[in-house]
């Protein structure tokens, strides 16, 4: 059983990435592998159904990797910064490159971070997208603010808020419970 955490920030070393790493550690504690695919580190090209644009080999390879990992994943975490009151376009573009076959009846956890007024609205918007992809967005979600993080000596962010650390544990346990029980397996 393995999961895929997609990070949709435009920034390398984002808060969302730090939260993804924190969750990855929790999944590992529960003997679950959760791989991080950070779209700032491994960018993919804009969806172009007409095929007019000519994406680079690097972008095409990144996309192939994303699609393979998504297909193999048993559960997902979708991570987004708050951009203009919603999830990022980068994340939406990645999801547009994926299909219902990748998400069908798989549990999906939603996480996000805001720099301004903390908001869960980007996650509410994502919940609708997950439903369209036939995934199961689990009830617990995590919406942090920049101030919930601190920096290590090498300037890497880490989650530094006890409440969210507790919530992260519940979040991970919930996703694992859904993945283990696969309550909707027969509906696939």
Ligand X SMILES: Cc1cc2nc3c(=O)[nH]c(=O)nc-3n(C[C@H](O)[C@H](O)[C@H](O)COP(=O)(O)O)c2cc1C
146 binds ligand X per the rule CB under 6 A = yes
| Cα distance between residue 174 and residue 181, in whole Å | 11
Select 142 or 179, whichever has its Cβ closest to ligand X.
Answer: 142
Four-CA torsion 46, 51, 52, 54, nearest 10 degrees: 60
x/- contact string, 15-54, with ligand X (CB under 6 A)? xx--------------------------------------
Q: Please say whether the beta carbons of 175 and 4 come within 8 A.
A: no
x/- contact string, 104-133, with ligand X (CB under 6 A)? ---------xxxxx----------------
Q: Least distance (Å) from ligand X to the CB of residue 117?
A: 5
60 binds ligand X per the rule CB under 6 A = no
Taking CB under 6 A as the binding criterion, the range among 24-32, 56-64, 83-91, 92-100 that sits at the site for ligand X is 83-91
Size of the site for ligand X (CB under 6 A): 16
| Cα distance between residue 17 and residue 6, in whole Å | 9
Buried b (16+ CB within 10 A) or exposed e, 27-47: beeeebebebbbbbebbbbee
At residue 122's C-alpha, the angle toward residues 79 and 84, to 5°, is: 110
x/- contact string, 63-82, with ligand X (CB under 6 A)? ------------------xx
Interaction site with ligand X (CB under 6 A): 9, 11, 14-16, 81-85, 113-117, 146
């Amino acid at each position: 059983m393995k999961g895929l955490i997609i990070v949709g920030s435009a920034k390398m070393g984002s808060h969302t990435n730090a939260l993804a790493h924190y969750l990855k550690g929790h999944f590992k504690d529960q003997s679950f592998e959760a791989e991080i695919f950070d779209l700032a580190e491994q960018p993919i090209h804009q969806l172009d159904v007409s095929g007019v644009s000519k994406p680079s080999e690097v972008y095409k390879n990144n996309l192939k990797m994303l699609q393979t990992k998504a297909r193999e994943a048993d559960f997902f975490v979708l991570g987004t910064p708050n951009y203009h009151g919603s999830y990022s376009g980068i994340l939406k573009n990645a999801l547009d490159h994926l299909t219902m076959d990748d998400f069908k009846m798989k549990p999906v956890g939603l996480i996000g971070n805001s720099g301004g007024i903390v908001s869960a609205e980007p996650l509410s918007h994502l919940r609708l997208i997950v439903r369209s992809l036939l995934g199961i967005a689990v009830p617990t979600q995590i919406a942090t603010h920049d101030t919930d993080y601190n920096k290590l000596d090498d300037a890497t962010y880490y989650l530094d808020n006890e409440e969210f650390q507790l919530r992260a544990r519940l979040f991970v346990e919930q996703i694992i419970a859904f993945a283990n029980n696969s309550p909707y397996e027969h509906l696939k």
